Chain A
Amino acid sequence: MSGRRQDGRLSDRAIALAISLVLRVGVALAAALVAVGGIAYLVQNGRRETHYSHFASAQSLTTPAAIVRGALALDPAAIIALGLVVLVLTPVARVVLALLAFAEQRDRLYVAFSLIVLTVLFIGLTGHAL
Chain B
Amino acid sequence: MDVLAFTAVVFAGSLFAGFLGSLTGLGGGVVVVPLLTVALGVDVRYAIGASLVSVIATSSGAAAAYLREGFTNMRVGIFLEVATTAGAIVGASVTTRLPGTTIEVVFGVVLLVSVYLTLAIREQAAGAAPLGGSRAPPRRRGGPNPGPPREGANQPPRGPLGFGIMAGAGLISGLLGIGSGAVKVLALDQAMRLPFKVSTTTSNFMIGVTAAAGAGVYLRRGFISPSLAMPVMLGVLGGSLIGARLLIGARVRLLRVVFALAILALGVEMIVAGLHL
Binding site for B on A (CB under 8 A): 12-13, 15-17, 19-21, 23-24, 26-27, 30-31, 34-35, 37-38, 41-42, 45-50, 52-55, 57-59, 61-63, 77-78, 80-81, 84-85, 87-92, 94-95, 98, 110, 113-114, 116-117, 120-121, 123-127
Main secondary structure of the interface of A (DSSP, over half): helix
Whether A19 lies near B67 (C-beta < 8 A) is: yes
Q: Which of B18-26, B37-45, B138-146, B186-194 contacts A (4 or more CB under 8 A)?
A: B37-45
Main secondary structure of the interface of B (DSSP, over half): helix
Q: Which of A50, A94, A113 contacts B6 (CB 8 A)?
A: A50
B241 to chain A, nearest CB (A): 11
Whether A120 lies near B86 (C-beta < 8 A) is: yes
| Identity of the chain B residue whose Cβ is nearest the Cβ of A43 in the assembled complex | B4
Query: For residue B219, which residues in chain A have a CB less than 8 angstroms away from its CB?
Result: 62, 84-85, 88, 125
Whether B81 lies near A117 (C-beta < 8 A) is: yes
B263 to chain A, nearest CB (A): 23
Q: Which of B102-110, B114-122, B128-136, B209-217 contacts A (4 or more CB under 8 A)?
A: B209-217
Query: For residue A52, which residues in chain B have a CB less than 8 angstroms away from its CB?
Result: 1, 6, 40-42, 228
* Complex Cα–Cα for A80 and B3 (A): 15
Given A113-B78, A117-B82: A58 and B222 interface contact (C-beta under 8 Å): yes
Whether A88 lies near B220 (C-beta < 8 A) is: no
B58 to chain A, nearest CB (A): 9
What 1/0 flags go to B36-61 for Cβ under 8 Å of A?
00001111001001000100110011
* Complex Cα–Cα for A50 and B3 (A): 6
Whether A95 lies near B209 (C-beta < 8 A) is: yes
